[in-house]
Structure 1
Amino acid sequence: MEAVNMRLLVLIPFLVIVPAVTANIGDFDEVWQTRAEEARKAALQAYNPHPEKVTDNFNKKVHKSTNHTRRNLSKFSGPCMATNPIDRCWRCRSDWASNRMKLADCVLGFGQQTTGGKGGKIYVVTDLSDNDMVNPKPGTLRHAVIQEEPLWIIFAHSMAIRLNEELIMTSNKTIDARGANVHIANGAGLTLQFVHNIIIHGLHIHDIKVGNGGLIRDSASHYGFRTRSDGDGISIFGATNIWIDHISMSNCADGLIDAIMASTAITISNCHFTHHNEVMLFGASDSFSGDAIMQITVTFNHFGQGLTQRMPRCRWGFFHVVNNDYTHWLMYAIGGSQHPTILSQGNRFIAPPDINCKEVTKRDYSPESVWKSWTWRSQGDLMMNGAFFVKSGDPNFDFSNKYVIRAKPGTFVTRLTRFSGALSCREGMPC
């Protein structure tokens, strides 16, 4: 109980609007102030004071799924090609296209309460253009994501969308690219700022550029001035209940996925990341203790060719990194500062040939006398080519005995992550 109270104490700075909250908002008017306050309340409500219960539930689902399907996982034959419990929830169904919202029942981990646009209307994107930032054309993705009501957004056909400026989303939306080959590329990225309940599924996001800013509509009833965007593929800013699944990402001007400013209740799953330097940043500042509320699950992802570091880099919060495949890095895989809690379970880490880069972990801005008290644990991880994980924290603090059962060991990772990235789904067939 004492540990829980200490966690809650550091949330106090988030009760006040601080200058960093206005990032990229040129005019922090009454509308944005209201959104920021609503986001603060949503984050505090979404925060789980017992994160070990979430990791326990996740690991049980993995065990249940893999134990009774193991013989079927090595081949593409059979009625279902799902290889992990998230995919098994929906991919084996041939009617996925007529029952798209079933997907919202499948998220696990800290984002498990995310339902996106479930219960709302289907919105079909028919137009790949993005020419008017203030009055977006009906049928475009920008017009879809600014609507006030819950929407399940799909695509009429394959398309490559070049966003002229960052795509600012409203709450209760699903972007579902199943059945089409949809690229967000060569322009700005997606911004989830002061929103809740978002699902992003099945997109290719790559070659994202810095946006110039200007007047941009951020809801059906409001537009305002934005400063330059950072060039993230997906920027999660003061947002809660977010699920990012089966996304293929590479080569963005800044991070592939950044989650900052007390964003929480997030799951990032089944994604394929390639060709990027700073992959994922969770918590942007050592000085913003409001990020102690951050709780993120990173699972079933493949960290592939051409990656350098930050898979992820964490500050303050609680991070469950489980059953991912790390086949490439140039500097390190998992890093952090400001005493984040990191539970690494059942990942495969293949170190690069460079003798100086075999360590999976990296602690920044703190001497060993400080970071040795941070809780960083490795359980069931498969270390290859000389990879090693430097543990820290109370040696008697054993998650497997005290809080959670073990995840599947790292030897299972190749099958659990076999279908990471955007999928090629055909209507009338299992995906």
Structure 2
Amino acid sequence: MLTVCYIVIVYPVCRSINESIARRNLGYLSCGTGNPIDDCWRCDPNWEQNRQRLADCAIGFGKDAIGGKNGRIYVVTDSGDDDPVTPKPGTLRHAVIQDEPLWIIFQRDMVIKLKEELIMNSYKTIDGRGASVHIAGGPCITIQFVTNIIIHGINIHDCKPGGNAMVRSSPRHYGWRTMSDGDGVSIFGSSHIWVDHCTLSNCQDGLIDAIRGSTAITISNNYMTHHDKVMLLGHSDSYTADKNMQVTVAFNHFGEGLVQRMPRCRHGYFHVVNNDYTHWEMYAIGGSANPTINSQGNRFLAPDDRSKKEVTKREETPESEWKSWNWRSEGDLMLNGAYFTPSGAGASSSYAKASSLGAKPSSLVASITSSAGALSCKKGARC
């Protein structure tokens, strides 16, 4: 095994793989992907019996998001959403509003078309492994004023606005909801959030937006396609409470049909690391209101249009102002004429707040992100 490894894989990668194998005593060369999240749990053929191990595998600013760890397993058996005020037991809505920690899984493949936003309570994991689960065609996921949420392995697409309706948010409370934006995942005033291995596309507003004082967030291993305004991090230029926001965007594949905001940042600290950018129509990474952006080890493939080669965009701000913002590119791979416009003096204290994990070499991005999106996991086999 080791002889073959040295022939086909460069030495540092090979060494990492063999260390991973030795650590787990599994003997499968393919387990060592170099993706630290996946290498934490995907080699286990008994993942289905050890589902909550996933909660120990987060990285980045959202690494302490435990979701429903140590809670009971809740099995969604009913794809319906007939009554957002009095949801039926066995539905996803009934699961996510409970007060207790829950690890939510799915009995079978299902498409869930929600009538209204899915308003989550704290300490919940939505775990789609072992089934093909789509939340699509209606309002989607709202994470508002809560903490410790994990969303894993879900297909989220074609999300629409909801609202002007009563919706339950806990066993004790329901209330009037005004119109929502139509995000895939809306994170509002919440912390310790991890969105991992989801496939997202074609929503009314953002695929994943985090605003209004949200922080301690990791967005990882997702596959995003066919969307305009992909990811907004920070509510508005005037909402200064977002100065404390810290978000890690890691190991994602930004794929075909994307236009802009991968992400678009305001005020806070953003670590954009080891992502694969294979399509943008306007720009990849943008921002306003003096965010700190630390771009490391990404692969940027620019479009053929000569006017769209720049990775970065400062939104509606003169250079005299943005030239002091701390934006840096470190170890990024620029392809087809892509270029990143850095700024700022590079204050180490500022970048320390925008650093959340060690970046891998950009040459490894293809392998690190090769399994981005919802996985096809079969019981009794490695995922």
Superposed pair shares fold, TM > 0.5: yes
Q: 1:336·1:363 contact (CA, 8 Å) conserved in 2?
A: yes
In the TM superposition, what is the alpha-carbon distance from 1:378 to its structure 2 partner? 0.4
Q: Secondary structure at the match of 1:114?
A: coil
Q: 1:83·1:418 contact (CA, 8 Å) conserved in 2?
A: no
1:415 corresponding residue in structure 2: 367
Q: Does 1:105 align with 2:53?
A: no
1:385 corresponding residue in structure 2: 336
What aligned pairs does 1:346-357 form with structure 2 within 5 A after superposition?
346-357=297-308
Q: 1:339·1:374 contact (CA, 8 Å) conserved in 2?
A: yes
Distance (Å, rounded) in 2 between the aligned partners of 1:128 and 1:405: 37
The equivalent position to 1:230 in structure 2, one of 176, 181, 187, is 181
Q: Secondary structure at the match of 1:252?
A: coil
The equivalent position to 1:339 in structure 2, one of 276, 290, 297, is 290
Q: 1:83·1:417 contact (CA, 8 Å) conserved in 2?
A: no
Q: Cα 1:176–1:141, aligned 2, differ >3 Å: closer, same or farther?
A: same
Q: Match for 2:172: what amino acid?
A: S
What aligned pairs does 1:22-41 form with structure 2 within 5 A after superposition?
none
Q: Cα 1:404–1:253, aligned 2, differ >3 Å: closer, same or farther?
A: closer
Distance (Å, rounded) in 1 between the aligned partners of 2:55 and 2:119: 21
Q: Does 1:199 align with 2:150?
A: yes
What aligned pairs does 1:320-339 form with structure 2 within 5 A after superposition?
320-339=271-290
Q: Match for 1:103: what amino acid?
A: L
TM-score w.r.t. the length of structure 2 is 0.91
The equivalent position to 2:217 in structure 1, one of 266, 283, 305, is 266
Q: Secondary structure at the match of 2:166?
A: strand
Q: Match for 1:154: what amino acid?
A: I
Q: 1:134·1:216 contact (CA, 8 Å) conserved in 2?
A: yes
Q: Does 1:365 align with 2:316?
A: yes
Q: Secondary structure at the match of 1:101?
A: helix
Q: Secondary structure at the match of 1:225?
A: strand
TM-score w.r.t. the length of structure 1 is 0.81
Q: Match for 2:366: what amino acid?
A: T
2:250 corresponding residue in structure 1: 299
Q: Match for 2:131: what amino acid?
A: A
Distance (Å, rounded) in 2 between the aligned partners of 1:68 and 1:81: 7
Q: Cα 1:66–1:283, aligned 2, differ >3 Å: closer, same or farther?
A: farther
Q: 2:328·2:346 contact (CA, 8 Å) conserved in 1?
A: no
Distance (Å, rounded) in 1 between the aligned partners of 2:309 and 2:59: 31
The equivalent position to 2:16 in structure 1, one of 68, 77, 81, is 68
Q: Secondary structure at the match of 2:31?
A: coil
In the TM superposition, what is the alpha-carbon distance from 1:212 to its structure 2 partner? 3.4
Q: Secondary structure at the match of 1:88?
A: helix
Distance (Å, rounded) in 1 between the aligned partners of 2:161 and 2:104: 25
2:196 corresponding residue in structure 1: 245
Q: Secondary structure at the match of 1:139?
A: coil
Q: Secondary structure at the match of 2:94?
A: helix
Q: Cα 1:206–1:409, aligned 2, differ >3 Å: closer, same or farther?
A: same
Distance (Å, rounded) in 2 between the aligned partners of 1:340 and 1:112: 21
Distance (Å, rounded) in 1 between the aligned partners of 2:87 and 2:379: 30
2:206 corresponding residue in structure 1: 255
In the TM superposition, what is the alpha-carbon distance from 1:66 to its structure 2 partner? 7.8
Q: Match for 1:421: what amino acid?
A: G
Q: Match for 1:310: what amino acid?
A: R
Q: 2:243·2:267 contact (CA, 8 Å) conserved in 1?
A: yes
Distance (Å, rounded) in 2 between the aligned partners of 1:410 and 1:122: 38
In the TM superposition, what is the alpha-carbon distance from 1:411 to its structure 2 partner? 1.1
Q: Cα 1:67–1:361, aligned 2, differ >3 Å: closer, same or farther?
A: farther
Q: Does 1:308 align with 2:259?
A: yes
Deviation sequence 1:39-63 (CA, Å, 0-9, x none)? xxxxxxxxxxxxxxxxxxxxxxxxx
Q: Does 1:169 align with 2:120?
A: yes
Distance (Å, rounded) in 2 between the aligned partners of 1:404 and 1:323: 12
Q: Secondary structure at the match of 1:321?
A: strand
Q: 2:17·2:29 contact (CA, 8 Å) conserved in 1?
A: no
Deviation sequence 1:358-401 (CA, Å, 0-9, x none)? 0000001211111010000100000000000000010575969x
Deviation sequence 1:4-25 (CA, Å, 0-9, x none)? xxxxxxxxxxxxxxxxxxxxxx
Runs of 4+ off more than 4 Å: 64-67, 395-400, 403-406
In the TM superposition, what is the alpha-carbon distance from 1:409 to its structure 2 partner? 2.2
Distance (Å, rounded) in 1 between the aligned partners of 2:348 and 2:175: 49
Unaligned runs of 5+ in 1: 1-63
Q: CA RMSD in A?
A: 2.2
Q: 1:79·1:430 contact (CA, 8 Å) conserved in 2?
A: no
Of the structure 1 ranges 262-271 and 212-221, higher mean CA displacement relative to structure 2 is found in: 212-221
2:76 corresponding residue in structure 1: 125
Deviation sequence 1:48-90 (CA, Å, 0-9, x none)? xxxxxxxxxxxxxxxx988512999xxxx85637440100000
In the TM superposition, what is the alpha-carbon distance from 1:147 to its structure 2 partner? 0.4
Q: 1:166·1:211 contact (CA, 8 Å) conserved in 2?
A: yes
Identity of aligned residues (%): 62
Distance (Å, rounded) in 2 between the aligned partners of 1:194 and 1:362: 30
In the TM superposition, what is the alpha-carbon distance from 1:213 to its structure 2 partner? 2.9
Deviation sequence 1:199-243 (CA, Å, 0-9, x none)? 000000000111133111110111011111110000000000000
Distance (Å, rounded) in 1 between the aligned partners of 2:74 and 2:30: 30
Q: 1:65·1:85 contact (CA, 8 Å) conserved in 2?
A: no
Q: Greater helix share, 1 or 2?
A: 1
Deviation sequence 1:109-168 (CA, Å, 0-9, x none)? 000111000011100000000010110000000000000100000000010000011000
